[in-house]
Structure 1
């Protein structure tokens, strides 16, 4: 077995917190850990919004870094754009073997294509409503309903 095959994958988990239920976070992280070491865990959202209170409650217990986004306009995808920028910054460090994109948003499809072109695996995690294009753009896609919530 080569050194590469023997090595534990280093992963970055990037969560679109405005698109995923906080109740799934612990189970999602456990599932992602099946693919490697979770060296970076970040959740993206406007943390000042009242409807994000429940999600905020899972950040510290799961050692997730909150990336705060100010909503300059209603209905815009600031979280998606910032998540994409963070993903590419992390990929370009050369320190990661894979990126877990936690979202059901097809806006991340081009990101999945781009990360894979860099030779980095993409693990997508999202709901059944996830557009087929995003699921297929990932190296592997895991539906949240297949993850057991403890």
Structure 2
């Protein structure tokens, strides 16, 4: 099985439904998951609404695909992007796709690509409809990409006055506890990396940065009333493995 960093990805961007202001941050985020061997962006480039994208296309070697809106009220960009995605799928040149859009019209496409054994990453705004989010293997919100306020919990504490982060509510705590229980050994300890991976499967848009934390470890450490954390040295290595246990168990 390929390492995730070796994945060849097709990055398909919906210019009509994504802001251009953080394109570098988006591409840096995508690079964490694999190598973007195909980068295409779809829109009607005769319209002033997408003009802001044009300088970024040359800088980041993104191929613009012109798609005229032939019919009022119909999104021709969606159709062009879907057709291209299926052509790329059948060419067998990539291991996965990154669909950059906040449009629920790509829900069926994401499902179809996953049915064909491809990994699907989604990037969009927080307004993205839930069906598209859960159709992806992982979904990242644009609002957290490159957010400088996210740092070891400080952002979460100051969130009401700064960026609007998600609340760590009882529903989220229950998700964490259930997942720790699913992974835990007989003594109640669970390897935090495995906990994070399972949460991602249950909730594709899960990301500690949504809550103001850069990683899962500081997020869990902040929940001192709910969890106990144990950092264990790995023999002959300068690293530590993080384990978590539900408090009181």
Same fold (TM over 0.5): yes
RMSD between superposed Cα atoms in Å: 1.5
| C-alpha distance in 2 between matches for 1:63 and 1:85 | 21
In the TM superposition, structure 1's runs of 4+ consecutive aligned residues that sit over 4 Å from their partners are none
1:42 is the counterpart of 2:40: yes
Moved more, 98-107 or 45-54: 45-54
Q: Tell me, yes or no, if the aligned pair for 1:10 and 1:96 is still in contact at 8 Å.
A: yes
Any stretches of 5+ residues in structure 1 without a counterpart? none
**CA shift at 1:149, angstroms?**
6.0
| C-alpha distance in 2 between matches for 1:12 and 1:104 | 17
1:104-140 deviations in Å (ceiling 9; x for gaps): 1000000000000000000000000001110000011
Equivalent residue for 2:122, pick from 124, 127, 135: 124
What secondary structure, in the 3-state scheme, does the structure 1 residue paired with 2:117 have? coil
> What is the aligned partner in structure 1 of residue 111 from structure 2?
113
**CA shift at 1:74, angstroms?**
2.4
Which one has a bigger Cα radius of gyration? 2
Cα distance change, pair 142–7 in 1 and its aligned pair in 2 (3 A): closer
- TM-score, with normalisation over the residues of structure 1? 0.94
Equivalent residue for 1:102, pick from 94, 100, 103: 100
Matches within 5 A, 1:1-150: 4-5=2-3, 8-148=6-146
